[in-house]
Amino acid sequence: MSFIPTLDIANLIKLFALAITLLYIYHLYYQTKHWPPGPRGLPILGNIFQVPRFSWYTFTNWKVQYGSIISLNIVGQPMIILNTHKVASELLNRRSQIYSDRPRFIMAGEILSGGLNIILLSPTDRWRRMRRAGHEGFKARASEKYRPIQELEATRLVTNLINDPENWSNHFNRSAASSILCSVYGRDPIERKDDYIVEKINTMMDRLVHAAFPGAYLVEIFPRMKHLPLWMAKWKREGQEHFTKDTNMFERFLSDVGERMLTGNCKPCFASSLLDNQSKAKLTNEEASWLAGAIFGAGSETTSSVLHVFLLAMTLYPDVMRTAQTEIDGVVGPDRLPNFGDFDQLPYIQAMVKEVLRWRPVIPLGFPRCAAENDFYEGYHIPRGAIVVPNVWAMNRDPDLYPDYDEFRPGRFLNDSGGINQVFSDLAPLGHVTFGFGKRICSGLNLANQSLFINFACMLWALNIEQAIDNEGKRIVPSRTACIDRGIVAKPAPFVCNITIRSNNAIATVVEQMKADKKA
């Protein structure tokens, strides 16, 4: 009794705060000791300061120390890193009912996107309807109707590279954006005057990526802030304004397709198929508009980045380039450009597509999932609400599947007869996991593979790619690993190379092909 009066209110508050802190630390310890292994972190803050930029490198290095599945504590939020095909296949494929959810992105998913961006949606009825429509528009047979667009864009890309080889990066950006814009909306190929269309959508995607970064907005930490009135929350007010503008833009794009359909001037495209089947797909106008817009936004930068990886590989591996050119010359000859009719006869080019996607995946960390319920894997507890991240970089460089994983070797995907190996392995049937897993696998993978095949084939038919020479006559060897982190997408850091024409006949053939395409 004599002790209590000696404590004033301030000391009582300190003791209470200390008790709460100790209880929190004990609770956190009790929870985390059953999680998969991982690096030790700070009290309360956990591993928040141990996850750097280019974190896929760090996670891959930790694989050696902690194993195929790693846990991190980000201020109490469990994060599970999947480092091997085996664990990713078990959780993301076989247990997809648990691991198909997304973490909650309040700013990016709910405010900036209004709950309409399919990439950020949880597997609700809306997501299933939009997902089904996207799959129907880009499944293997449906994607074949976009091949004429892709052949045209490949010819235009080669023409631009012949005329202005030093600006190859800009040509890749334009070509990728134009190809997918034409495929999604049936628009004419992008010219310089149309760059504002791409700029608007790229700006929107950058805004979403920034908003999805952990800690970018306090509302992600304190969700109740979402209910603040607009006059108190500038970030919320501006987010809703962006959503309104982006929705109007996507709806204009879609309505433009509808108007061209009425006049019979619409080329085959995803948006026209979407409008034809909108009632069957049970999509509202907003849902259909955002579905088409999200597909364009996601596909443009990733395709351009893969083209950058291809050029880096050709610069570093001239023998691979010459092997591919020998195959193309034997099948196509000098008097025409490659086309999709040559597909089955160009297995090395098909294998090159797989190897480019495996060697330097432009999305090195798969987009995060969220555990929908408590789960156990090999004795480890994966708590409900845990963020689950597949380390695509580590899986595509698994030494058990790819013993010389750092080498660019398309031949790894060919069988003994020289044909394409249709099923590379049970764990990586496509030859890589760059397109994702389970119900969240990229719905545009057929479109992307087609685009890469025809672009690679046409560039190698017309062009030689070599290392540049400096003023002292020495070769400039680009970095194999330097990259630019664009948030979700990572592309090679800028480098120089020499792009030259293989023959004068190639110029005349490309010119004639461009004339024919314009008449068509």
Residues annotated in a binding site: 442
CA 285 vs. chain centroid, Å, equals 26
CB 168 within 8 A of CB 478: no
Annotated binding site for heme: 442
CB 295 within 8 A of CB 134: yes
Q: How far apart are CA 187 and CA 269, in angstroms?
A: 9
Pairing state between β 387-390 and 77-82: parallel
CA-to-CA separations, 351 to 131, 297, 347, 410, in angstroms, rounded: 28, 27, 6, 5
CA 20 vs. chain centroid, Å, equals 42
DSSP of 429-469, one letter per residue?
TTSS-TT--GGGS-TTHHHHHHHHHHHHHHHHHHEEEEEEE
Q: Any idea how long the chain is? A: 520
H and E: helices and strands count for the chain:
18, 11
One-letter amino acid identity for 6? T
What is the layout of strands, in order, in the sheet containing 69-74? 69-74, 77-82, 387-390, 369-370
Smallest CA-to-CA distance from 269 within 145, 132, 151, 442 is with: 145
Q: How far apart are CA 147 and CA 329, in angstroms?
A: 21
**Adjacent-strand bridge partners of 388:** 80, 369
Which pair of tokens denotes residue 240? 């809703």
Crossing angle for the helix pair 147-163 and 504-519, to the nearest 10 degrees: 140
